[in-house]
Chain A
Amino acid sequence: GESVGLHLPTLSVQEGDNSIINCAYSNSASDYFIWYKQESGKGPQFIIDIRSNMDKRQGQRVTVLLNKTVKHLSLQIAATQPGDSAVYFCAENISGLIWGAGTKLIIKP
């Protein structure tokens, strides 16, 4: 399995603004991508997923964009709320999920 040992990057966003969290993935053969949210003291929770044959998928207040050319995935959160404060992980699938290091989202009042 994969292991990541980097300290988490942090993104600070004003409440009400849109947030964009980025993730670079490693394998061009990855066919499925997932975003998870982890609030303090809790386990990760599924947010949204996207298959490699798509370049955009929308959920409730969230949009995932996939750019296979540069192997880049982003999560956009509209009208960020205090409850969005969490660590956000992307995961790519290549014979199993490989997890990114996570980004900590901080909401400024």
Chain B
Amino acid sequence: GAGVSQSPSNKVTEKGKDVELRCDPISGHTALYWYRQSLGQGLEFLIYFQGNSAPDKSGLPSDRFSAERTGGSVSTLTIQRTQQEDSAVYLCASSSAGAVGETQYFGPGTRLLVL
């Protein structure tokens, strides 16, 4: 595809509900990253997928957060029992081979608001 796409662009949910965020990486990119960005703050790494390897989940803030990447392409980030502090922009990025330091191409993000 032309770039990384994410859906939905905005999501408003009630505290305690589950949400699913979707990321479509650039076609052919084997590495996929999820980040979180709270208002006025920097990027917080969440999870990293590289090919068929086990994902690096070291950034997930709690066991309410999980992510999958099916078929080595599309990824879904799931947040269960959402809390107000989960409100943030969730950014997805992909890179061609996941080489260390390789340029990452970002999607526009999903803005999540938990009421």
Contacts and interface: CB of A to CB of B under 8 A. Distances in A.
Interface of A: 1-8, 31-32, 34, 41-46, 49, 89, 93, 95-97, 99-102
B42 interface: yes
Interface residues of B, number: 24
B101 A43 contact: no
23 contacts: A1-B44, A1-B45, A1-B58, A2-B45, A7-B40, A8-B40, A41-B108, A42-B108, A43-B4, A43-B91, A43-B93, A44-B91, A44-B106, A46-B103, A46-B104, A49-B101, A95-B100, A97-B45, A97-B101, A97-B104, A99-B45, A100-B42, A101-B41
Most buried by A among B40, B43, B44, B59: B43
Contacts, number: 71
Nearest to B43: A99
Contacts of A45: 106
B106 A34 contact: no
B87 to A, nearest CB: 15
Nearest to B47: A1
A6 to B, nearest CB: 7
A44 B4 CA distance: 12
Contacts of B101: 31-32, 34, 49, 93, 97
Interface string B43-76: 1111010000000101100000000000000000
